[in-house]
Homo-oligomer: A and B are copies of this chain.
């Protein structure tokens, strides 16, 4: 079996019941336990902090659709060239959109995709926050408002870009491998 990461950090000996339930739920719903989840099982407090933030950002109510959140995830991960995150979230874009080419475009070059004005504004902001966050000024936020986003939506885009800027770096820094099942999904 391929190692999940380049670090020797075996799972915690006593997996709490709630954690085991979460792992079982992943297996049941997704057909696999994402390697990023497995990678954190060496320390349950870290796993819980990671999954709590992930679930809030990707699954809780938001003005952004689940597809839009995954599009941001892939665009950030593409800029950072994160192997794990492009594979896993590219699959999610293909699956949620029913449009395999859209998933590929988010990975390869988001400007090549056929996007509406709202999505273009969202990804333009996401790209700037990913690459040159220190140069964000009020007119960048206003461009989002002009495209129909609320201040809460702006927060959510910023938080998504932030989250994947984090997980891209953790995954690349520790050599995280994606579950091979993702590659063939929703092609």
Contacts and interface: CB of A to CB of B under 8 A. Distances in A.
A46 B61 CA distance: 12
Interface residues of A, number: 65
Contacts of A41: none
A151 B87 contact: no
A16 B78 CA distance: 39
Nearest to A85: B108
Given A45-B56, A158-B169, A105 B83 contact: yes
B133 A80 contact: yes
Interface string A55-86: 01000100000000000000000101111001
Interface of A: 6-9, 42, 45-46, 48-50, 52-53, 56, 60, 78, 80-83, 86-87, 100-101, 104-105, 107-109, 111-112, 125, 129-130, 133-138, 141, 151-152, 154-155, 157-159, 161-163, 165-170, 172-175, 177, 180, 183-184, 187
